[in-house]
Amino acid sequence: MSESNSTSENASFEQIGEVLHKHQSFVLISHVRPDGDAIGSQLALGFSLIAAGKSVRLINEDGLPDNLAFMAGAKKIELPPTEPLDVEVAIALDTATKPRLGDNALHAASKAKIWLNIDHHVSNPKYGDLNLIDSTSPATGQILYQLLTALNLPFPDETRDAIYVAVSTDTGSFQYPSTTAKTYEMAADLVRRGLDVGTINSSTYDNHPYRRVELMRALLNTLELSPDGLVANWELRDETRLDLALLPEDSEGLIDIIRAIRGVLLAVFFEELVDGKIRVSMRSKDRRINVSDIALEFGGGGHALAAGIRMKGPLDEAKPLVLAAIRRRIAEIGI
């Protein structure tokens, strides 16, 4: 698919459904360093299509995170094969830009004749042949719930559980402002369909390895608060990653600890990556501080209240640049 072929308009559920019905072979892909919404979306749509008799492969550049291995059907998530897959349709899920799918995953999907792009990031440029982007949705998993139910597609137990994990993790367990009445109505329907809320929440939130607690201690030792108390940040150095034998998913959600500090409106997590780049995660508690706009200054993106950047290191040079951009934005809006 050439970028010039992508449409600026969203496809309808019916148009997406026509592609799903018409074709037999699919590869479903989500972004590098996948989170619950990414993997959950793959499993949800994947198992629905499998139940409909389709041939489906689920690939991710970084494979299945250890913290999501409990999910029903999770073993279907695989690393990209070295040779391109013989599939008709590639579906990108929860991925704001095409390069975020990863080079190996893109190569594996390169024979696909049609690309579908289903996502909820406001910064998504609609890089698919058909696009279903809803930035008002709190999670891609919720978009898929609406799609599957509207099209009356199969809804096996794996799909039910995966949608719940996808939406729960991307809404901070239904706490973030993006959570809507539709979100709760969806969750109620999943319970009616047999979802075991207690067990799945325990597996999602109460099952961390000890090294994650050690990581929290190390991060707290780097915590900084701006003089006005509005911005909190901490950092993860490569040395700490090696000392604690960390996995990428070990830091998932920890930024919410400093976001929760009274008076803090914006939390920032700086992380040294193996390739020498710096990963910056930002979380805002005030819609006046749109962190997606700040991220765009550095080639990143995301949502108004949650966004990220991958930028050139070293950390000691990248960090002051981002913090200065944040200070400028706060000054502009007069907080």
Encode pLDDT of 54-101 as tens digits. Answer: 999 999 999 999 999 999 999 999 999 999 999 999 999 999 999 999
Q: Measured between alpha carbons, how far is 41 from 139 in angstroms, rounded to an integer? A: 9
In the block, residue with structure tokens 């199969």: 154
Q: Is the pLDDT of residue 4 over 70?
A: no
Q: What is the pLDDT of residues 137-152, one digit of tens each?
A: 999 999 999 999 999 9
pLDDT tens digits, residue range 190-221?
999 999 999 999 999 999 999 999 999 999 99
d(C-alpha 152, C-alpha 14), whole Å: 11
pLDDT of residue 274: 87
pLDDT at 7: 45
Domains of the chain: 3-205 (3.90.1640.10), 211-333 (3.10.310.30)
Predicted confidence at residue 303, as pLDDT, reads 86
Distant-in-sequence, close-in-space partners of 300: CB < 8 Å, separation ≥ 6:
280, 307, 308, 309, 310, 311
Q: 27 and 59 in contact (C-beta within 8 Å)? A: yes
Location of structure tokens 């508690």: 285
What confidence score (pLDDT) does residue 8 get? 61
Query: Would you say residue 180 has pLDDT above 80?
Result: yes
Mean model confidence pLDDT for the chain: 95
- The pTM of the whole model exceeds 0.75: yes
Paired tokens of 129: 């042949």
Please name the helix (run of DSSP H) or strand (run of DSSP E) that holds residue 185, with its range, or none: helix 181-192
Work out the average pLDDT over 231-246: 97
Quickly state the pLDDT bin for 179 (edges 50, 70, 90): very high
- In 3D space, the residue among 319, 279, 328, 273 whose CA is nearest the CA of residue 299 turns out to be 279
Query: How do beta strands 301-302 and 224-225 pair?
Result: unpaired
**The total number of residues written for the chain in this structure:** 335
Phi, psi of 278 (to 5 degrees): -115, 130
